[in-house]
Structure 1
Amino acid sequence: MIHVFTKGTDPMKPVLLLLHGTGGTERDLLPLAERLDDTASLLSVRGNVSENGMPRFFRRLAEGIFDEEDLIFRTKELDDFITESAEKYEFDRHNVVAVGYSNGANIASSMLFHRAESLRGAILHHPMVPRRGIDLPNLDGKNVFIAAGKNDPICPPQETEDLQALLQNAGASVETFWDNQGHQLSYAELDEAKKWYTTLFA
């Protein structure tokens, strides 16, 4: 997978797995990660799927309707890539925190839904529920931050509330921040994400 890896100055910090939104690249979230923690190692990945020339992490059938078969395949593909990257770049595979926006947040959620060991935690900006009607693994000890917009036309509030409930019912500790915004990233949610991250991982 096309990616960028940057070795941080503090080997005890989590490796930040950066996952862009639809149409983004492996460089989109680098400034966000710098703002979050400028001492952590970064693994920023470009999605392997193209939708009308726009990179994505998995296919969708329509707006808000995911291709579940492809989602399952791409989730495993990304999980395997992180394992390979941990060996290549010599970082702790069990100390990875995902930072995803929109489509990237959705595949990060899918990783938690399918394999608890894939991530230590996650920061999810404007995610949706990746799959419904499945049993989640035991997520005890996993920490998740969700940022949502009350006026998000792509990810309605019910999606956020459902995702929070599903993760919590599986044992994860979830903090959700609501902003009076749409689907775009806001400075307020970035600040809240940093507070959450610093409390847990600084």
Structure 2
Amino acid sequence: MTSLSFTHRYEPALTGGLPPLLLLHGTGGSEEDLLPLGRAISPGSALLSPRGRVLEHGMPRFFRRLAEGVFDEEDVKRRANELADFVAEAREAYGLGELTAIGFSNGANIAAAMLLLRPEAIRSGIFLRAMVPLSEPPAVDLTGKQVLLLSGAVDPIVPPENSRRLAAILREANAEVYAQALPASHGLTPQDVSLSQQWMAKDAQPKPL
């Protein structure tokens, strides 16, 4: 769909009482990529899945980067605000409550940036293989926000210390963070899905990084 500010897919809820999901793909993905993941993690939730508006060698992303792991931080801020505006548009257009963001890689990074810059945009988040999006995070109060942060212990893209720093940043802002390093690389595993399912049901208690 293109009637709002981002090309996106929307699937209405099948079950009442579940939080709607904001699905944010990785580099080279599309609005279709994370729909199966969203259905697996929270069957019955409404799904809102936008396509990143930045192209890198023809591959959609949510913000520009200068090199692998080096972000254009001014663009991060601009795009996070654009995405937050889209979320507000979509909530009004589709009659949605507060969303839980599920982001993978580049999508997890923009979700983390949006949480830090526009915390009203999402109620909680599942950040899969996320990095610190801003070298100087803004002062923000994330009291009441909950985040599941799943990293890969042998991820060649996201260093373990970067994941730990992101968890620390969010905790220092008073977010409730559950973080775990999985025996995985950058790609997603069945354990990512099972832990995310449990966390959505508020049953998971991963060990802190």
Structure-2-length-normalised TM-score: 0.92
| Aligned match of 1:175 | 178
Q: How does 1:9-88 map to 2 (within 5 A)?
A: 9-88=14-93
Q: Provide Cα deviations, 1:7-45, integer angstroms capped at 9, x if missing partner.
A: 112343211000000000111111111111111100011
Cα RMSD after superposing both structures:
1.0
Give the superposition deviation at 1:88: 1.0
CA contact (8 A) 2:81 2:118 kept: no
CA–CA distance in structure 2, aligned partners of residues 142 and 159 of structure 1: 21
Which amino acid in the other structure matches residue 149 of structure 1? Answer: G
The share of aligned pairs that are identical, in percent, is: 43
2:157 matched to 1:154?
yes
CA contact (8 A) 1:59 1:66 kept: yes
How many residue pairs get aligned? The number is 198
CA contact (8 A) 2:10 2:49 kept: yes
Consecutive unaligned residues of structure 2, counting only runs of 5 or more, are 1-5, 204-209
Consecutive unaligned residues of structure 1, counting only runs of 5 or more, are none
Which amino acid in the other structure matches residue 108 of structure 1? Answer: A
CA contact (8 A) 1:115 1:137 kept: no
CA–CA distance in structure 2, aligned partners of residues 49 and 35 of structure 1: 27
Q: How does 1:174-193 map to 2 (within 5 A)?
A: 174-193=177-196
Which amino acid in the other structure matches residue 89 of structure 2? Answer: E
CA contact (8 A) 1:177 1:192 kept: no
Q: Provide Cα deviations, 1:66-113, integer angstroms capped at 9, x if missing partner.
A: 011111111011000111111111112xx1100000000000000111
Give the superposition deviation at 1:117: 1.0
CA–CA distance in structure 2, aligned partners of residues 162 and 28 of structure 1: 28
CA–CA distance in structure 2, aligned partners of residues 50 and 77 of structure 1: 16
2:140 matched to 1:140?
no
Which amino acid in the other structure matches residue 56 of structure 2? Answer: E
Which amino acid in the other structure matches residue 20 of structure 1? Answer: H
